[in-house]
Structure 1
Amino acid sequence: VLPEPVTTVQVRVALTATGAAPVVERVDLVGDRAPAAGAAVAAAPLTYRVFATREGLPGGTTANGHVIKARDHFVALPSRRGLAPRDTGDYTVRVCRTDRSRCEYAPVWDVGPWNTKDDYWNPPAQRQMWKDLPQGKPEAQAAHQNGYNGGKDEFGRRVANPAGIDLADGTFWDGLKMSDNGWVDVSYLWTGSGPTGVVTTAGDPLNVRAGASTTAAVKGLAANRARVVVECHVEGESVTGPLGTSTIWDRIGPDHYVSDTYLRTGSDEPVAPKC
């Protein structure tokens, strides 16, 4: 590994034998595509299993001003501390079925369900309310399952389900292919570290694949504008997308790959180490 980027490499071959052999006839040098300078290794984000409900409400307006479309792709969390500005993915989650058969990377564009000051992913010392609950346990879940706070939310309403996340219809039906409310595994991507990229499409969500090919199995979706962590990269099928043509594929989660031509990373070169 060279200590800095170079365009020319000089190689010297020294022969120590005193006889007529060996003879050097050819030397081949092969360079691997290197990550951009300063590329960092990603650290895993916090992940918790919570109950998900379908948000619906097409035509309504979210807490950040987004007008909800039919089969939209975003999520709601019960605290403004995790709310992304409109049309950004500054706060993005990876939400997966518990068997990991399907996942979606989606921005947080609304506040709810039930509470509005329950940043349950934070440790108790940082949590805005309900500081006596374990980290990762939504207040609505504690109220519904254990009678916490008299079984009520912050507004005094009787909690009818343990929901800790709402899913927009497209995330619910198309991303995760859920047919009813249920438990999901949610990774709060901003709590991790590493290089990031913003999913960039014409508007539709991007297929997330099991390998570096457009024929690899689809493992879920990544919503337009979602900000994802680039764990590492591989060389794969050449793809032409909104950001050009490239053979770079970025791994954004366990066995989750997207073409670099759909990920705005700020560089045409890899931003993470090779997988």
Structure 2
Amino acid sequence: MIRIKKAGRVTAAVLAAGAVTALAGAPAQAAPVSPGTAGWTADLSTVDTDDVNVAAAGGTLTLADAAWHRTARVFAGSEGSLITAEHALGTPANRVSAQVSAETPKGTTVEVDVRGRTGADDWTEWTPAGTAFRTGVSSVQVRLSLHSDTDGVRPVVRGVSLSADTAPQVNALAATAALTYRVYGTREGLVGGTTANGHTIVSHDHFVSFPSGKSVSPKGTGNYTARVCRTDGSKCEYAPVWEIGPWNERDDYWNPASVRSEFKDLPQGKPEAQAAYLDGYNNRKDDSGRTVQNPAGIDLADGVFWDGLGMSDNGYVNVTYLWTGTGPAGTVKTAGSPMNVRASASTSAAIKGLAANYAKVTIECYVNGDSVTGTFGTSTIWDRIGPGHYVSDTYLQTGSDLPVAPHC
């Protein structure tokens, strides 16, 4: 579901970082980086295929098309985003702050989110700049999001100064199994539209959407992947998170209250839309003031909805937020189509669902089974990626020719 911005909203991410932001189109100057911290500036000169509706010119960044709407659900205004190259830190840190020099006419905002690398292919969630991660990180990426409520009106970013330090940690990240919650799922549709990470939606597409930007994977990746299953467990799909919605845009409901962005009084695992629709929470409104019409906590692209899960109508599903757990992992690499997930290590075993290209899956253990030739050669190794879910290791990029998990 598409984000609809409130006019004149203050950007929490920028304020949390101590940024100086222009008002009513007046230029603002970035404050100097705090002494004693590692400092650098964001490169605003290069825009590539991972970025969405932004243009760089003369060292500034703005919306490429100030009247561009990602899908038919957006009727006015525009948005865009740029993800910077990974920046290695001199020493590990758990907080990155940003100071922004920008022109922000009325109805426009600039937001700065950061994420940190915690392993070879492991990242923290995207976090508002100035907010501490729950673990130390060795390198970071920065995501700049530009928004306008009015067609033709653009914010202009002239510079972003960044600094890394270590802050007192709250709820340090511990090794744990990924979180699973039962939430209401709706079909995304919107073929021909554009997702939050710049992917053009195609027929029978394979991705999912949550009502928070914290878990959006950059285009062509599955750093944040969900396992979505029918409530009877008969069919599941492993799919990357590429979109923001449904309803809210800051409701990372899977997180505990200490780090949940909004609606901290709700139980962990309960989407705000569910509470609004079923319990009358927040006067039945979402965070943009719209009356919530269903209790959805996840949107499913058509391929996930129809092909992976075999659903014919919206309904409850069991969702595992795989990035919230730890353990060996691999990334699905196919020629493009999803791969079958089997009930055992055999090409003739029952199909339990699908694993989408780019999905990052947890490898619980491995067994030997049928020989398969795939993206990474020929092998008899099969990886168990969930309860009774097996895929050939030849389609998983693990960084090793040997098993990365113990034998089952």
TM interval, short-chain normalised: 0.7 to 0.9
User: Which residue identity does 1:174 align to in structure 2?
Assistant: D
Cα distance in 2 for residues equivalent to 1:87 and 1:147: 38
**1:223 matches 2:356:** yes
Alignment TM-score, normalising by the size of structure 1: 0.84
Once the two structures are superposed, what CA deviation does each residue of 1:75-118 show, in whole Å capped at 9, x if it has no partner? Answer: 00000001111110000000000000000000000000000000
Give the deviation of 1:189 after TM superposition.
0.1
User: Which residue identity does 2:320 align to in structure 1?
Assistant: S
Give the deviation of 1:194 after TM superposition.
0.4
**1:52 matches 2:207:** no
Which residue of structure 2 lines up, in the alignment, with residue 250 of structure 1?
383
**1:232 matches 2:374:** no
Which residue of structure 2 lines up, in the alignment, with residue 13 of structure 1?
none
Which residue of structure 2 lines up, in the alignment, with residue 89 of structure 1?
222
Which residue of structure 1 lines up, in the alignment, with residue 231 of structure 2?
98
Cα distance in 1 for residues equivalent to 2:226 and 2:357: 13
Structure ranking higher on relative contact order (CA contacts 8 Å, 6+ apart) = 1
Cα distance in 1 for residues equivalent to 2:182 and 2:397: 29
CA RMSD in angstroms, aligned pairs only: 0.7
Which residue of structure 2 lines up, in the alignment, with residue 260 of structure 1?
393
User: Which residue identity does 1:249 align to in structure 2?
Assistant: W
**1:146 matches 2:279:** yes
Q: 1:194-233 counterparts in 2 under 5 A? A: 194-233=327-366
Which residue of structure 2 lines up, in the alignment, with residue 35 of structure 1?
none
Cα distance in 1 for residues equivalent to 2:270 and 2:237: 21
Which secondary structure state, in structure 2, belongs to the residue aligned with residue 170 of structure 1? helix
Once the two structures are superposed, what CA deviation does each residue of 1:202-245 show, in whole Å capped at 9, x if it has no partner? Answer: 00000000000100000000000000000000011111111100
Cα distance in 2 for residues equivalent to 1:257 and 1:235: 11
Which residue of structure 2 lines up, in the alignment, with residue 188 of structure 1?
321
Which secondary structure state, in structure 1, belongs to the residue aligned with residue 357 of structure 2? coil
Cα distance in 2 for residues equivalent to 1:255 and 1:222: 14
User: Which residue identity does 1:82 align to in structure 2?
Assistant: S
Alignment TM-score, normalising by the size of structure 2: 0.57
Larger Rg: 1
| Structure 1 segments (4+ residues) deviating >3 Å | none
Which residue of structure 1 lines up, in the alignment, with residue 291 of structure 2?
158
User: Which residue identity does 1:134 align to in structure 2?
Assistant: P
Which structure's residues are more often strand, by fraction?
A: 2
Q: 1:101-116 counterparts in 2 under 5 A? A: 101-116=234-249
Matching residue within 177, 194, 201 for 1:61: 194
Cα distance in 1 for residues equivalent to 2:194 and 2:277: 27
Cα distance in 2 for residues equivalent to 1:43 and 1:96: 20
Q: 1:5-16 counterparts in 2 under 5 A? A: none
**1:136 matches 2:269:** yes
**1:173 matches 2:302:** no
Which residue of structure 1 lines up, in the alignment, with residue 13 of structure 2?
none
Give the deviation of 1:43 after TM superposition.
4.5
Which secondary structure state, in structure 1, belongs to the residue aligned with residue 282 of structure 2? helix
Once the two structures are superposed, what CA deviation does each residue of 1:120-175 show, in whole Å capped at 9, x if it has no partner? Answer: 00001100000000000000000000000000000110000000000000000000
**1:80 matches 2:217:** no
Which secondary structure state, in structure 1, belongs to the residue aligned with residue 270 of structure 2? coil
Which residue of structure 2 lines up, in the alignment, with residue 6 of structure 1?
none
User: Which residue identity does 2:211 align to in structure 1?
Assistant: P
Cα distance in 2 for residues equivalent to 1:173 and 1:43: 31
Give the deviation of 1:44 after TM superposition.
2.1
Which residue of structure 2 lines up, in the alignment, with residue 272 of structure 1?
405
Which secondary structure state, in structure 1, belongs to the residue aligned with residue 276 of structure 2? helix
Cα distance in 2 for residues equivalent to 1:231 and 1:85: 25
Cα distance in 1 for residues equivalent to 2:272 and 2:176: 27
Which secondary structure state, in structure 2, belongs to the residue aligned with residue 174 of structure 1? helix
User: Which residue identity does 1:99 align to in structure 2?
Assistant: D
Between the two proteins, the alignment pairs up a number of residues equal to 234
Cα distance in 1 for residues equivalent to 2:176 and 2:329: 12
Which secondary structure state, in structure 2, belongs to the residue aligned with residue 212 of structure 1? coil
Give the deviation of 1:270 after TM superposition.
0.3
Which secondary structure state, in structure 1, belongs to the residue aligned with residue 352 of structure 2? strand
Cα distance in 2 for residues equivalent to 1:206 and 1:124: 36
User: Which residue identity does 2:367 align to in structure 1?
Assistant: V
Cα distance in 2 for residues equivalent to 1:78 and 1:136: 12
